[in-house]
Amino acid sequence: MRSNSGLPNSGTLAETTTVRIRLPARRERLGLVRAVAEAVSMDAEYTAEDIADIRLALNEVASALIVTAVPGSDLDCAFTYDRDRLTVAVTASALTEPEPDVVRRDIGWRIVQTLTTDATATREPFDITVSGYPTRVEFDWRRDAPRTNAPLPVDTASNGSAGRGPRVVHRGGGPVTERRARTRPATGDARTPSVRWDHAVACATSSPDRHGSSMTATRGEFRHPAMFYDGDEDYVAGLLPFLLDGIEQGEPVAVAAPNGRLDLLRAALGSSARDVRMIDMEQAGRNPGRIIATVLRAFADEYPDSPVRIVGEPVWAGRTAMEYPACVQHEALINRAFDGRDLTIVCPYDLSTLDATAIADATATHPQLWEGKHRRESPDYDPDAIVRRYNEPIPEPAEAAELTVAESADVATARRWAVRNAGELAGDADRIADLELIVTELATNGLCHGVGPVRIRMWTDDTHLICAVHDHGEWTDPLAGRRPPEPGVPGGRGLLLVHQLCDLVRTHTGPEGTTQYAMMAL
């Protein structure tokens, strides 16, 4: 929808124009939101650099609001511009009332402050007509005005010295140094930014899980067996009783497996298949780092007060050597991620196609083993050892493009540098937008939680564009980015977003620093 009203000013943009879109509040619609922002910004005659900033800031706000949106609700975006400024207003209905005093340290909000000339956020009381808390974020760009130079949050965990010491990611309640944002308006008059940040927007940008439940909301026994099978018949015979028993008990049941395995189970279940959530793991779990948050947690958290049964098959013969370390680390980390939940996740392993290493690793990542009708405890269970064993660097070619990011002001330069080195992805506007976000989030995370400066290298192999982001902090939370952030904990959305946008993410950490490898398939 577009409307115009005349202004006394003269020039190319002598009118006020408003463009408004309303669309379902779902993550897969972010590409459309970015595309509209780019089209509007071009129509408003902004520069290419400004357009990249506008698109990124809108993506930060829209993705934050989508995370906590009432299921089935809409996201409303309005763009208003004239010759002097562009104003964007994004509105959604938040599902839960947020924890107070959270987001002033949130990385996503600092990014918005850095990219825009003004930003405000408001939340209204619970509205029964929308089943949530109406939440509105508004921000603008004044043409040719300097942007806010908002310093990013600094980790002060070691000896009280900003930016030094071990990396601590997703730390709740720890000390964080805050510095006030400084804005220079176009007139040159000094003023402070107009930022009003209340409880509802704190909820949106700190991204609590969708149902407001923590990992220990339902106390119970977590079960994580590996089921060894030999061929299709053995596969069905091993899983069918588990699935049918769950249906009979009235428990939520899901299967996340390669599509061919789903077909086998659908046929075996017959009419009962309608009671099982079927998820294609080749798509949903293409990047193993996203499985906990968007497959396992996404399903289990729909039923926080009920026992839940899931079949999850992240390892199959088609996995590549590059993917496998992330797969086996994922299997090890499940045990930590779901401790205390009344949940069973059965992971099938095909003896006829997988090698001895994969089978041995399965006995180390699963506390129980199923072999036919036999059930036993694994004598080799040691998931922490697996996480350490597959903490492997990826060889980096000497000719890779390289850039150093020393402070938050360099992040915009890093985005433009990444686009110039995108190679085969350069012709795909949506993937270029994703690449800009990936580089922004990883560089920002390195500046906030590691020890700078941050080094970024990019190159391609036969299958991927690889972006390696290195800082000098040591990673202490291997689940960071693999789970939704907890209510009341600042940040956590950036690494989660990276896992959603990438086809594969791997991490190597040690005393000399941490490198995150973000890969996009060619």
Of the pLDDT bands very low, low, confident and very high (cuts 50, 70, 90), residue 141 is confident
Max CA pair span of the chain = 83
What is the C-alpha to C-alpha distance for residues 438 and 498, in angstroms, rounded to an integer?
A: 5
For the segment 60-69, the average pLDDT, to the nearest whole number, is 83
151-161 per-position pLDDT tens digit = 444 433 333 33
Return the higher-pLDDT residue of 113 and 189: 113
pLDDT score at 204 = 32
The pair of three-digit structure tokens given for residue 220, joined into one six-digit string: 């119970």
- Using the predicted structure, report yes or no on whether residue 251 has a pLDDT greater than 60: yes
Q: Which helix (H) or strand (E) holds 225?
A: strand 225-229
- Using the predicted structure, report yes or no on whether residue 485 has a pLDDT greater than 60: yes
Of the pLDDT bands very low, low, confident and very high (cuts 50, 70, 90), residue 429 is confident
171-184 per-position pLDDT tens digit = 223 322 232 233 32
The pair of three-digit structure tokens given for residue 440, joined into one six-digit string: 């922004």
Of the pLDDT bands very low, low, confident and very high (cuts 50, 70, 90), residue 94 is confident
Cα angle 46, 415, 25; round to 5: 75
Q: Which of 45, 169, 199, 54 is nearest to 446 (CA)?
A: 169
Q: Which of 482, 440, 463 is nearest to 323 (CA)?
A: 463
Beta-carbon contacts of residue 126 (< 8 Å; ≥ 6 apart):
97, 132, 133
pLDDT score at 172 = 29
202-243 per-position pLDDT tens digit = 333 333 332 222 322 234 689 999 999 999 999 999 999 999
What is the C-alpha to C-alpha distance for residues 76 and 80, in angstroms, rounded to an integer?
A: 13
Q: Where is average pLDDT lowest: 24-33, 107-116, 245-254? A: 107-116
pLDDT score at 362 = 98
Highest mean pLDDT pick, 90-104, 114-128, 137-151: 114-128
Torsion of CA 249, 295, 491, 78, to 10 degrees: -110
Q: Where is average pLDDT lowest: 89-98, 100-109, 480-489? A: 100-109
Residue indicated by tokens 């409307």: 3
